[in-house]
Structure 1
Amino acid sequence: MLSEKQEALVKESWELLKQDIPLHSFRLFTSILEKAPGAKDLFSFLRDTDEIPQNNPKLRAHAAKVFRLTCESVVQLREKGGVLIGDATLKWLGSVHLQNGVLAPHFEMVKEALLKTIEEGVGEKWSEEMENAWGEAYDHLAAAIIGEMQAEAAASSKPVP
């Protein structure tokens, strides 16, 4: 779990980031797609385009939702002792990721993009300690989603990709 100092770093940076979620969430998805251009096929609203349209309302809404969920889950980690997402939401996340063919290595790539986005968003406040805090917290969130993907795959007798 996160230390008190790590929790404080995450909360401090989240306060800065949530001042402009549309900007940071768009940066997050831009970074993801720069690292893995093929990932755009995982998103229905990006499949038929060769670029990342900044004004695409579906992308903006989805990116903001992903960014907010990730950041708010991280903040809860120390307070609640784990990643607390409603059972229905966690099941939905596992199902959607499984159906879209998301693999465990994709979560690591998203982590890299998230850390880059946070670094850009907090500027000179960025530190190795902040990076480690966000990285550890993200790993807990990714493990919860992957666990749900595995549970759904086992229940449906489908292999996890």
Structure 2
Amino acid sequence: MDVFTEKQEALVNSSWEAFKKNIPHLSILFYTLILEKVPESKEMFSFLKDFDGIPHNNTILEAHAEMIFDMTRDAAVQLRSKGKIDLADDVTLEYLGSVHVQKGVIDHHFLVFKEAMLKTIKKAMDDKWSEELSCAWSIPYDELAASIKKAMGW
């Protein structure tokens, strides 16, 4: 992997701040985009499976979306400072891997999540969206996804 630049990290951090300002709305958008592509994934999320559509004002849904975006932002920071992703500890990575295996996650789901994440960031950034910003989020997401897949035994 090429070096993750200071500018890319700054782009991720600034768009993360824009995302955080509107988590309730943007988390609904994020999961709506996922379910449009993979409706059956609704059963994978405890906070979605008992609802028709996407529940609004659902703190668990919002916290889960925030965690995914924050992990990706943190991956960007680590790529910049260390040149690699180093999750908090191996237990975290093992846990993520086991949960993804248990839920039946397949490779296609990682692609759908990435697309939904990028579209959500695009909405958060509005007219400040660019291909450069898309790339800045894509690199850490891809690295994080690769780490989770490895923990899944792929």
The TM-score normalised by the length of structure 1 is: 0.84
List alignment gaps of at least 5 residues for structure 2. Answer: none
Deviates more, 1:34-43 or 1:71-80: 71-80
Residue among 18, 21, 32 paired with 1:19: 21
Is the Cα contact below 8 Å between 1:9 and 1:130 reproduced in 2? yes
2:37 maps to what in 1? 35
1:139 maps to what in 2? 142
What is the distance in 2 between the residues matched to 1:13 and 1:5?
A: 12
- Matched AA of 1:103: I
Count of residue pairs brought into register by the alignment:
151
What is the distance in 2 between the residues matched to 1:75 and 1:133?
A: 11
Q: Identity of aligned pairs, percent?
A: 51
Any idea what the Cα deviations from partners look like across 1:39-68, whole Å, max 9, x if unmatched?
101112322332111123332332222232
What is the distance in 2 between the residues matched to 1:81 and 1:39?
A: 33
The TM-score normalised by the length of structure 2 is: 0.87
Deviates more, 1:18-27 or 1:100-109: 18-27
Q: Shift of the alpha carbon at 1:98? A: 0.6
Any idea what the Cα deviations from partners look like across 1:119-149, whole Å, max 9, x if unmatched?
0001111111111111112100100100101
Q: Shift of the alpha carbon at 1:69? A: 2.1
List alignment gaps of at least 5 residues for structure 1. Answer: 151-159
Q: Shift of the alpha carbon at 1:92? A: 0.8
1:120 maps to what in 2? 123
The ranges of structure 1 where at least 4 consecutive aligned residues each deviate by more than 3 angstroms after the TM superposition are none
